Structure 1
Protein backbone atom coordinates (compact mmCIF):
# COMPACT_ATOMS: atom_id res chain seq x y z
CA UNK A 1 0.00 0.00 0.00
CA UNK A 2 1.27 3.48 -0.87
CA UNK A 3 0.35 7.07 -0.15
CA UNK A 4 -0.58 9.29 -3.11
CA UNK A 5 -1.79 12.34 -1.17
CA UNK A 6 -0.85 14.48 0.68
CA UNK A 7 2.74 13.10 0.56
CA UNK A 8 3.12 11.21 -2.73
CA UNK A 9 5.85 8.62 -3.06
CA UNK A 10 5.55 6.96 0.37
CA UNK A 11 5.36 3.24 -0.42
CA UNK A 12 5.00 0.06 1.62
CA UNK A 13 2.85 1.51 4.37
CA UNK A 14 2.82 -0.71 7.45
CA UNK A 15 0.16 -1.02 10.14
CA UNK A 16 1.68 1.75 12.25
CA UNK A 17 1.44 4.10 9.25
CA UNK A 18 -2.23 3.25 8.80
CA UNK A 19 -2.91 3.82 12.50
CA UNK A 20 -1.42 7.29 12.15
CA UNK A 21 -3.22 8.03 8.87
CA UNK A 22 -6.60 7.12 10.35
CA UNK A 23 -6.06 8.43 13.89
CA UNK A 24 -9.17 9.92 15.48
CA UNK A 25 -9.57 12.97 17.70
CA UNK A 26 -10.87 12.54 21.23
CA UNK A 27 -14.29 14.26 21.19
CA UNK A 28 -15.31 16.58 24.03
CA UNK A 29 -17.10 14.82 26.87
CA UNK A 30 -20.68 13.88 26.01
CA UNK A 31 -20.17 14.20 22.24
CA UNK A 32 -19.24 11.83 19.42
CA UNK A 33 -17.06 11.74 16.33
CA UNK A 34 -18.81 9.75 13.60
CA UNK A 35 -16.80 8.12 10.83
CA UNK A 36 -18.41 6.18 7.98
CA UNK A 37 -16.62 3.40 6.11
CA UNK A 38 -17.75 2.09 2.73
CA UNK A 39 -16.42 0.22 -0.27
CA UNK A 40 -17.83 0.93 -3.73
CA UNK A 41 -17.10 -0.06 -7.31
CA UNK A 42 -15.83 2.58 -9.73
CA UNK A 43 -19.42 3.01 -10.95
CA UNK A 44 -20.67 3.70 -7.43
CA UNK A 45 -22.18 0.29 -6.60
CA UNK A 46 -21.86 -0.53 -2.91
CA UNK A 47 -22.88 -4.18 -3.22
CA UNK A 48 -22.84 -7.13 -5.56
CA UNK A 49 -25.47 -9.76 -4.91
CA UNK A 50 -26.64 -7.79 -1.89
CA UNK A 51 -23.27 -7.85 -0.13
CA UNK A 52 -20.17 -5.64 -0.11
CA UNK A 53 -17.69 -8.51 0.29
CA UNK A 54 -17.14 -8.99 -3.45
CA UNK A 55 -15.88 -5.41 -3.78
CA UNK A 56 -13.09 -5.52 -1.20
CA UNK A 57 -9.58 -6.89 -1.69
CA UNK A 58 -6.75 -7.36 0.83
CA UNK A 59 -6.10 -3.62 1.15
CA UNK A 60 -9.74 -2.87 1.89
CA UNK A 61 -9.84 -5.60 4.50
CA UNK A 62 -6.76 -4.11 6.17
CA UNK A 63 -8.38 -0.66 6.26
CA UNK A 64 -11.63 -2.22 7.52
CA UNK A 65 -9.78 -3.87 10.43
CA UNK A 66 -7.79 -0.74 11.19
CA UNK A 67 -10.88 1.46 11.45
CA UNK A 68 -12.55 -1.04 13.78
CA UNK A 69 -9.44 -1.24 15.94
CA UNK A 70 -9.43 2.55 16.34
CA UNK A 71 -13.15 2.86 17.18
CA UNK A 72 -15.03 2.81 20.47
CA UNK A 73 -18.09 1.24 18.83
CA UNK A 74 -19.24 -0.06 15.43
CA UNK A 75 -22.68 1.29 14.45
CA UNK A 76 -24.78 -0.42 11.78
CA UNK A 77 -28.36 -0.59 10.59
CA UNK A 78 -30.34 -3.77 11.19
CA UNK A 79 -30.78 -4.45 7.46
CA UNK A 80 -27.05 -4.39 6.88
CA UNK A 81 -26.42 -6.52 9.98
CA UNK A 82 -28.79 -9.15 8.55
CA UNK A 83 -27.57 -8.95 4.94
CA UNK A 84 -23.88 -9.13 5.90
CA UNK A 85 -24.44 -11.70 8.70
CA UNK A 86 -22.72 -9.49 11.23
CA UNK A 87 -20.75 -11.08 14.02
CA UNK A 88 -18.64 -9.63 16.82
CA UNK A 89 -15.65 -7.42 16.03
CA UNK A 90 -12.43 -9.44 15.91
CA UNK A 91 -9.42 -7.85 17.62
CA UNK A 92 -6.21 -9.91 18.01
CA UNK A 93 -4.70 -10.12 21.51
CA UNK A 94 -1.77 -7.79 20.79
CA UNK A 95 -4.12 -5.20 19.43
CA UNK A 96 -6.42 -5.58 22.43
CA UNK A 97 -3.45 -4.74 24.64
CA UNK A 98 -2.70 -1.68 22.51
CA UNK A 99 -6.31 -0.53 22.81
CA UNK A 100 -6.25 -0.93 26.57
CA UNK A 101 -3.03 1.09 26.75
CA UNK A 102 -4.77 4.00 25.02
CA UNK A 103 -7.85 3.87 27.25
CA UNK A 104 -10.11 1.87 24.91
CA UNK A 105 -12.01 -1.30 25.75
CA UNK A 106 -10.27 -4.44 24.43
CA UNK A 107 -12.98 -5.00 21.77
CA UNK A 108 -15.49 -2.49 20.38
CA UNK A 109 -19.13 -3.53 20.75
CA UNK A 110 -21.46 -3.69 17.76
CA UNK A 111 -24.40 -1.27 18.01
CA UNK A 112 -27.42 -1.89 15.79
CA UNK A 113 -30.13 0.64 14.90
CA UNK A 114 -33.52 -1.08 14.58
CA UNK A 115 -36.92 0.52 14.98
CA UNK A 116 -38.77 -2.80 14.79
CA UNK A 117 -36.25 -5.05 16.57
CA UNK A 118 -36.84 -7.67 13.87
CA UNK A 119 -33.59 -9.41 14.80
CA UNK A 120 -33.13 -13.09 15.60
CA UNK A 121 -31.79 -13.48 19.17
CA UNK A 122 -29.89 -16.52 17.88
CA UNK A 123 -28.04 -14.54 15.21
CA UNK A 124 -24.25 -14.64 14.97
CA UNK A 125 -24.21 -11.04 16.19
CA UNK A 126 -25.01 -12.23 19.71
CA UNK A 127 -22.11 -14.71 19.95
CA UNK A 128 -19.79 -11.95 21.19
CA UNK A 129 -18.27 -11.83 24.65
CA UNK A 130 -19.08 -8.11 24.50
CA UNK A 131 -22.85 -7.59 24.47
CA UNK A 132 -24.15 -5.73 21.42
CA UNK A 133 -26.19 -2.55 21.89
CA UNK A 134 -29.60 -2.38 20.17
CA UNK A 135 -30.88 1.15 19.64
CA UNK A 136 -34.60 1.21 19.06
CA UNK A 137 -37.84 3.15 19.51
CA UNK A 138 -40.44 2.89 22.27
CA UNK A 139 -42.90 1.65 19.61
CA UNK A 140 -40.91 -1.57 19.04
CA UNK A 141 -42.84 -4.74 19.98
CA UNK A 142 -42.45 -5.41 23.69
CA UNK A 143 -42.03 -9.16 23.23
CA UNK A 144 -39.13 -8.67 20.83
CA UNK A 145 -37.48 -6.19 23.20
CA UNK A 146 -37.83 -8.63 26.10
CA UNK A 147 -36.30 -11.50 24.12
CA UNK A 148 -33.40 -9.40 22.88
CA UNK A 149 -32.61 -8.03 26.35
CA UNK A 150 -31.44 -11.55 27.17
CA UNK A 151 -28.56 -11.21 24.68
CA UNK A 152 -28.00 -7.46 24.23
CA UNK A 153 -28.41 -4.04 25.82
CA UNK A 154 -31.63 -2.56 24.42
CA UNK A 155 -31.77 1.24 24.52
CA UNK A 156 -34.81 3.34 23.57
CA UNK A 157 -33.86 6.36 21.44
CA UNK A 158 -37.17 7.87 20.37
CA UNK A 159 -40.89 7.24 20.57
CA UNK A 160 -42.32 6.25 17.18
CA UNK A 161 -39.00 6.29 15.31
CA UNK A 162 -35.34 5.95 16.23
CA UNK A 163 -33.85 9.43 16.61
CA UNK A 164 -30.21 9.42 15.52
CA UNK A 165 -29.29 12.36 17.73
CA UNK A 166 -30.50 10.31 20.69
CA UNK A 167 -28.60 7.29 19.38
CA UNK A 168 -25.32 9.19 19.44
CA UNK A 169 -26.17 10.67 22.83
CA UNK A 170 -26.82 7.21 24.25
CA UNK A 171 -23.49 5.95 22.90
CA UNK A 172 -21.65 8.97 24.30
CA UNK A 173 -23.19 8.34 27.72
CA UNK A 174 -21.60 4.89 27.63
CA UNK A 175 -18.21 6.37 26.78
CA UNK A 176 -18.54 5.20 23.17
CA UNK A 177 -17.61 8.50 21.55
CA UNK A 178 -15.56 7.44 18.52
CA UNK A 179 -18.27 5.91 16.37
CA UNK A 180 -17.54 3.91 13.23
CA UNK A 181 -20.63 3.38 11.09
CA UNK A 182 -20.55 0.74 8.38
CA UNK A 183 -23.96 1.53 6.94
CA UNK A 184 -26.08 0.61 5.37
CA UNK A 185 -26.79 3.28 2.78
CA UNK A 186 -29.98 4.49 4.50
CA UNK A 187 -28.36 4.95 7.91
CA UNK A 188 -25.38 6.65 6.27
CA UNK A 189 -27.64 9.06 4.38
CA UNK A 190 -29.64 9.85 7.50
CA UNK A 191 -26.52 10.61 9.54
CA UNK A 192 -24.99 12.77 6.81
CA UNK A 193 -28.25 14.52 5.98
CA UNK A 194 -28.77 15.43 9.64
CA UNK A 195 -25.28 16.90 9.93
CA UNK A 196 -24.15 14.11 12.28
CA UNK A 197 -21.37 12.70 10.09
CA UNK A 198 -17.80 13.90 10.66
CA UNK A 199 -15.90 11.93 8.04
CA UNK A 200 -16.13 9.31 5.31
CA UNK A 201 -13.56 6.64 4.52
CA UNK A 202 -14.26 5.28 1.04
CA UNK A 203 -12.59 2.43 -0.85
CA UNK A 204 -13.03 2.64 -4.62
CA UNK A 205 -12.61 -0.84 -6.10
CA UNK A 206 -11.27 -1.25 -9.65
CA UNK A 207 -14.41 -2.81 -11.13
CA UNK A 208 -17.75 -2.01 -12.69
CA UNK A 209 -20.69 -3.71 -11.03
CA UNK A 210 -23.24 -2.60 -13.61
CA UNK A 211 -26.70 -1.02 -13.28
CA UNK A 212 -29.28 -1.44 -10.52
CA UNK A 213 -27.05 -1.68 -7.48
CA UNK A 214 -27.30 0.21 -4.21
CA UNK A 215 -24.89 3.09 -3.66
CA UNK A 216 -23.49 4.33 -0.36
CA UNK A 217 -26.53 6.53 0.31
CA UNK A 218 -30.24 5.73 -0.03
CA UNK A 219 -33.55 7.23 1.04
CA UNK A 220 -35.10 10.66 0.84
CA UNK A 221 -33.44 13.44 -1.14
CA UNK A 222 -31.45 16.11 0.72
CA UNK A 223 -32.25 19.79 0.26
CA UNK A 224 -28.64 20.38 -0.84
CA UNK A 225 -25.40 18.51 -1.48
CA UNK A 226 -22.95 17.92 1.37
CA UNK A 227 -19.39 19.20 0.65
CA UNK A 228 -16.37 17.22 1.86
CA UNK A 229 -12.62 17.80 2.02
CA UNK A 230 -10.05 15.19 1.03
CA UNK A 231 -7.64 14.39 3.86
CA UNK A 232 -5.61 11.63 2.18
CA UNK A 233 -5.50 9.17 -0.71
CA UNK A 234 -3.86 5.74 -0.54
CA UNK A 235 -3.58 3.04 -3.22
CA UNK A 236 -3.09 -0.71 -3.21
CA UNK A 237 -3.33 -3.04 -6.21
CA UNK A 238 -5.61 -0.66 -8.09
CA UNK A 239 -7.94 0.10 -5.18
CA UNK A 240 -8.10 3.68 -3.90
CA UNK A 241 -8.60 4.55 -0.23
CA UNK A 242 -9.95 8.04 0.41
CA UNK A 243 -10.48 9.76 3.74
CA UNK A 244 -12.82 12.76 3.59
CA UNK A 245 -13.61 15.22 6.37
CA UNK A 246 -16.83 17.20 6.64
CA UNK A 247 -15.74 20.88 6.60
CA UNK A 248 -15.62 22.51 10.05
CA UNK A 249 -16.14 19.14 11.76
CA UNK A 250 -12.61 17.79 12.16
Structure 2
Protein backbone atom coordinates (compact mmCIF):
# COMPACT_ATOMS: atom_id res chain seq x y z
CA UNK A 1 0.00 0.00 0.00
CA UNK A 2 1.38 3.40 -0.97
CA UNK A 3 0.43 6.77 0.49
CA UNK A 4 -0.07 9.28 -2.33
CA UNK A 5 -1.45 12.20 -0.32
CA UNK A 6 -1.88 13.04 3.35
CA UNK A 7 -3.40 16.28 4.59
CA UNK A 8 -0.90 16.49 7.44
CA UNK A 9 1.91 16.86 4.90
CA UNK A 10 3.61 13.48 5.08
CA UNK A 11 5.41 12.77 1.80
CA UNK A 12 4.29 9.94 -0.54
CA UNK A 13 5.71 6.62 0.61
CA UNK A 14 5.13 2.88 0.88
CA UNK A 15 3.35 2.16 4.15
CA UNK A 16 4.27 -0.48 6.68
CA UNK A 17 1.54 -2.39 8.51
CA UNK A 18 1.86 -0.29 11.71
CA UNK A 19 1.80 2.94 9.66
CA UNK A 20 -1.41 1.86 7.91
CA UNK A 21 -2.94 0.98 11.26
CA UNK A 22 -2.05 4.39 12.68
CA UNK A 23 -3.38 6.15 9.59
CA UNK A 24 -6.84 4.59 10.06
CA UNK A 25 -7.07 4.85 13.84
CA UNK A 26 -10.15 6.91 14.78
CA UNK A 27 -9.12 10.38 16.02
CA UNK A 28 -11.85 10.64 18.67
CA UNK A 29 -12.41 14.34 19.27
CA UNK A 30 -13.98 16.56 21.94
CA UNK A 31 -17.44 15.11 21.24
CA UNK A 32 -16.13 11.71 22.28
CA UNK A 33 -16.67 10.15 18.87
CA UNK A 34 -15.47 9.82 15.29
CA UNK A 35 -17.95 8.45 12.77
CA UNK A 36 -16.43 7.08 9.59
CA UNK A 37 -18.45 5.68 6.71
CA UNK A 38 -16.81 3.11 4.46
CA UNK A 39 -18.05 2.17 0.98
CA UNK A 40 -16.57 0.46 -2.05
CA UNK A 41 -17.66 1.71 -5.47
CA UNK A 42 -16.78 0.90 -9.05
CA UNK A 43 -15.39 3.43 -11.51
CA UNK A 44 -18.92 3.89 -12.86
CA UNK A 45 -20.36 4.55 -9.40
CA UNK A 46 -22.02 1.25 -8.43
CA UNK A 47 -21.70 0.00 -4.86
CA UNK A 48 -22.27 -3.61 -5.88
CA UNK A 49 -21.90 -6.02 -8.77
CA UNK A 50 -24.46 -8.05 -10.75
CA UNK A 51 -25.21 -10.27 -7.75
CA UNK A 52 -26.43 -7.28 -5.74
CA UNK A 53 -23.61 -7.54 -3.19
CA UNK A 54 -20.54 -5.42 -2.54
CA UNK A 55 -18.42 -8.56 -2.22
CA UNK A 56 -18.46 -9.02 -5.98
CA UNK A 57 -16.57 -5.74 -6.54
CA UNK A 58 -14.17 -5.97 -3.58
CA UNK A 59 -10.46 -6.38 -4.24
CA UNK A 60 -7.85 -8.13 -2.13
CA UNK A 61 -6.54 -4.85 -0.74
CA UNK A 62 -10.06 -3.66 0.05
CA UNK A 63 -10.75 -6.86 1.99
CA UNK A 64 -7.66 -6.17 4.11
CA UNK A 65 -8.40 -2.51 4.77
CA UNK A 66 -12.05 -3.36 5.50
CA UNK A 67 -10.86 -5.86 8.10
CA UNK A 68 -8.36 -3.39 9.56
CA UNK A 69 -11.02 -0.71 9.97
CA UNK A 70 -13.22 -3.22 11.80
CA UNK A 71 -10.32 -4.03 14.08
CA UNK A 72 -9.98 -0.33 14.96
CA UNK A 73 -13.68 0.38 15.63
CA UNK A 74 -15.80 0.21 18.78
CA UNK A 75 -18.97 -0.04 16.71
CA UNK A 76 -19.88 -1.44 13.30
CA UNK A 77 -23.02 0.44 12.26
CA UNK A 78 -25.19 -0.87 9.43
CA UNK A 79 -28.70 -0.56 8.04
CA UNK A 80 -31.02 -3.56 8.08
CA UNK A 81 -31.16 -3.86 4.28
CA UNK A 82 -27.41 -4.19 4.04
CA UNK A 83 -27.37 -6.58 6.99
CA UNK A 84 -29.84 -8.87 5.22
CA UNK A 85 -28.24 -8.75 1.77
CA UNK A 86 -24.66 -9.13 2.98
CA UNK A 87 -25.48 -11.76 5.61
CA UNK A 88 -24.30 -9.85 8.66
CA UNK A 89 -23.87 -11.61 12.00
CA UNK A 90 -22.34 -10.59 15.31
CA UNK A 91 -18.76 -9.49 14.64
CA UNK A 92 -16.09 -12.17 14.89
CA UNK A 93 -12.44 -11.41 14.17
CA UNK A 94 -9.29 -13.10 12.95
CA UNK A 95 -6.43 -13.48 15.44
CA UNK A 96 -4.49 -10.57 13.91
CA UNK A 97 -7.50 -8.27 14.29
CA UNK A 98 -7.87 -9.24 17.93
CA UNK A 99 -4.17 -8.51 18.45
CA UNK A 100 -4.69 -5.00 17.02
CA UNK A 101 -7.53 -4.41 19.48
CA UNK A 102 -5.59 -5.74 22.44
CA UNK A 103 -2.61 -3.58 21.58
CA UNK A 104 -4.84 -0.48 21.42
CA UNK A 105 -6.78 -1.24 24.57
CA UNK A 106 -10.10 -1.81 22.78
CA UNK A 107 -12.83 -4.26 23.75
CA UNK A 108 -12.25 -7.80 22.53
CA UNK A 109 -14.81 -7.39 19.73
CA UNK A 110 -16.64 -4.45 18.17
CA UNK A 111 -20.36 -4.11 18.77
CA UNK A 112 -22.61 -4.62 15.74
CA UNK A 113 -25.39 -1.99 15.69
CA UNK A 114 -28.21 -2.48 13.18
CA UNK A 115 -30.65 0.32 12.39
CA UNK A 116 -34.14 -0.87 11.45
CA UNK A 117 -37.57 0.68 11.69
CA UNK A 118 -39.37 -2.56 10.74
CA UNK A 119 -37.46 -5.14 12.83
CA UNK A 120 -37.49 -7.35 9.73
CA UNK A 121 -34.45 -9.33 10.91
CA UNK A 122 -33.66 -12.86 12.00
CA UNK A 123 -32.75 -12.93 15.72
CA UNK A 124 -30.00 -15.38 14.77
CA UNK A 125 -28.08 -12.34 13.54
CA UNK A 126 -26.82 -12.14 17.12
CA UNK A 127 -24.71 -15.27 16.67
CA UNK A 128 -21.55 -15.80 14.63
CA UNK A 129 -21.87 -19.50 13.74
CA UNK A 130 -20.53 -20.62 17.09
CA UNK A 131 -17.37 -18.50 17.00
CA UNK A 132 -16.60 -16.01 19.79
CA UNK A 133 -18.14 -12.69 18.78
CA UNK A 134 -19.16 -9.26 19.95
CA UNK A 135 -22.50 -7.96 21.20
CA UNK A 136 -25.35 -6.86 18.95
CA UNK A 137 -27.61 -3.85 19.42
CA UNK A 138 -30.70 -3.21 17.32
CA UNK A 139 -31.77 0.44 17.08
CA UNK A 140 -35.43 0.62 16.20
CA UNK A 141 -38.54 2.75 16.78
CA UNK A 142 -40.92 3.17 19.69
CA UNK A 143 -43.86 1.77 17.69
CA UNK A 144 -43.04 -1.89 18.44
CA UNK A 145 -44.56 -3.58 21.49
CA UNK A 146 -42.83 -5.97 23.87
CA UNK A 147 -44.06 -9.06 22.02
CA UNK A 148 -42.40 -7.90 18.79
CA UNK A 149 -39.11 -7.16 20.55
CA UNK A 150 -38.91 -10.18 22.87
CA UNK A 151 -37.48 -12.68 20.29
CA UNK A 152 -34.45 -10.42 19.88
CA UNK A 153 -33.91 -9.94 23.59
CA UNK A 154 -34.31 -13.69 24.15
CA UNK A 155 -31.52 -14.17 21.58
CA UNK A 156 -29.22 -11.96 23.67
CA UNK A 157 -29.62 -8.85 21.51
CA UNK A 158 -29.99 -5.44 23.14
CA UNK A 159 -32.83 -3.40 21.63
CA UNK A 160 -32.90 0.39 21.78
CA UNK A 161 -36.15 2.16 20.86
CA UNK A 162 -35.24 5.62 19.65
CA UNK A 163 -38.06 7.54 18.06
CA UNK A 164 -41.49 7.13 16.55
CA UNK A 165 -41.71 6.34 12.83
CA UNK A 166 -37.97 6.70 12.26
CA UNK A 167 -34.84 6.04 14.31
CA UNK A 168 -33.34 9.21 15.78
CA UNK A 169 -29.76 8.87 14.54
CA UNK A 170 -28.41 11.78 16.58
CA UNK A 171 -29.66 10.16 19.76
CA UNK A 172 -28.21 6.81 18.68
CA UNK A 173 -24.75 8.22 18.01
CA UNK A 174 -24.78 10.29 21.21
CA UNK A 175 -25.78 7.24 23.25
CA UNK A 176 -23.01 5.12 21.74
CA UNK A 177 -20.42 7.81 22.39
CA UNK A 178 -21.76 8.35 25.89
CA UNK A 179 -21.10 4.74 26.82
CA UNK A 180 -17.53 4.93 25.52
CA UNK A 181 -18.14 3.50 22.04
CA UNK A 182 -17.13 6.57 20.06
CA UNK A 183 -15.12 4.90 17.28
CA UNK A 184 -18.00 4.26 14.91
CA UNK A 185 -17.63 2.62 11.50
CA UNK A 186 -20.70 2.71 9.25
CA UNK A 187 -20.60 0.07 6.50
CA UNK A 188 -23.92 0.88 4.81
CA UNK A 189 -26.41 1.12 3.43
CA UNK A 190 -27.15 4.13 1.23
CA UNK A 191 -30.30 5.24 3.12
CA UNK A 192 -28.59 5.10 6.49
CA UNK A 193 -25.62 6.94 4.96
CA UNK A 194 -27.99 9.65 3.74
CA UNK A 195 -29.53 10.02 7.19
CA UNK A 196 -26.16 10.27 8.93
CA UNK A 197 -24.85 12.89 6.49
CA UNK A 198 -28.07 14.91 6.58
CA UNK A 199 -27.88 14.95 10.39
CA UNK A 200 -24.29 16.22 10.31
CA UNK A 201 -22.95 13.10 12.02
CA UNK A 202 -20.34 11.93 9.50
CA UNK A 203 -16.79 13.00 10.35
CA UNK A 204 -15.09 11.03 7.58
CA UNK A 205 -16.05 9.38 4.31
CA UNK A 206 -13.75 6.49 3.35
CA UNK A 207 -14.29 5.49 -0.27
CA UNK A 208 -12.68 2.53 -1.99
CA UNK A 209 -12.51 2.98 -5.75
CA UNK A 210 -12.39 -0.48 -7.31
CA UNK A 211 -10.64 -0.53 -10.71
CA UNK A 212 -13.60 -1.99 -12.61
CA UNK A 213 -16.78 -1.04 -14.47
CA UNK A 214 -20.01 -3.04 -14.09
CA UNK A 215 -22.79 -1.06 -15.80
CA UNK A 216 -26.25 -2.00 -14.61
CA UNK A 217 -28.32 0.06 -12.19
CA UNK A 218 -26.44 -0.29 -8.93
CA UNK A 219 -27.11 2.42 -6.32
CA UNK A 220 -24.76 5.15 -5.19
CA UNK A 221 -23.28 5.38 -1.70
CA UNK A 222 -26.08 7.78 -0.66
CA UNK A 223 -29.79 7.34 -1.42
CA UNK A 224 -32.52 9.79 -0.46
CA UNK A 225 -33.76 13.32 -0.99
CA UNK A 226 -31.47 16.19 -1.87
CA UNK A 227 -29.33 17.21 1.11
CA UNK A 228 -29.47 20.98 1.47
CA UNK A 229 -27.29 22.74 2.14
CA UNK A 230 -24.84 20.24 0.69
CA UNK A 231 -22.12 19.55 3.30
CA UNK A 232 -18.51 20.08 2.33
CA UNK A 233 -15.69 17.60 2.82
CA UNK A 234 -11.97 18.02 2.21
CA UNK A 235 -9.47 15.36 1.13
CA UNK A 236 -7.59 13.81 4.05
CA UNK A 237 -5.62 10.95 2.50
CA UNK A 238 -5.23 9.01 -0.74
CA UNK A 239 -3.70 5.52 -0.94
CA UNK A 240 -2.96 3.24 -3.87
CA UNK A 241 -2.68 -0.53 -3.49
CA UNK A 242 -0.62 -2.90 -5.61
CA UNK A 243 -3.84 -4.27 -7.15
CA UNK A 244 -4.63 -0.73 -8.42
CA UNK A 245 -7.38 -0.10 -5.89
CA UNK A 246 -7.58 3.54 -4.80
CA UNK A 247 -8.54 4.50 -1.25
CA UNK A 248 -9.89 8.01 -0.67
CA UNK A 249 -10.75 9.65 2.65
CA UNK A 250 -12.55 12.96 3.08
CA UNK A 251 -13.20 14.72 6.38
CA UNK A 252 -15.90 17.20 7.29
CA UNK A 253 -15.06 20.88 7.31
Using the size of structure 1 for normalisation, the TM-score is 0.91
The residue number in structure 2 matching 1:165 is: 170
1:17 aligns with 2:19: yes
Is it true that 1:46 corresponds to 2:47 in the alignment?
yes
Task: Tell me whether 1:245 sits opposite 2:246 in the alignment.
Answer: no
SS in 2 for 1:149: helix
Structure 1 gap segments, 5+ residues each:
none
For 1:54-203, list aligned pairs within 5 A: 54-123=56-125, 125-127=126-128, 129-151=133-155, 152-203=157-208
Which piece of structure 1 moves more, 112-121 or 17-26? 17-26
String of CA shifts for 1:39-62, please: whole Å, max 9, x gaps. Answer: 000111001122101111111011
Q: Secondary structure at the match of 1:243?
A: strand
Cα 1:79–1:97, aligned 2, differ >3 Å: closer, same or farther? Answer: same
* SS of corresponding position for 1:18: helix
Question: Is 1:27–1:178's contact at 8 Å kept on the other side of the alignment?
Answer: no
Aligned equivalents of 1:218 and 1:86: distance in 2?
A: 21
* Aligned-partner Cα distance in 1 for 2:190–2:247: 18
What is the alpha-carbon distance in structure 2 between the residues aligned to residue 27 and residue 177 of structure 1? 9
The Cα shift of 1:34 comes to 0.7
Secondary structure at the aligned position of 2:83 is classed as: helix
Residue 171 of structure 1: how far off its partner (Å): 1.2
Find the residue that maps to 1:59 and give its secondary structure.
Answer: helix
Contact map agreement 2:110 2:135 (CA 8 A) in 1: no
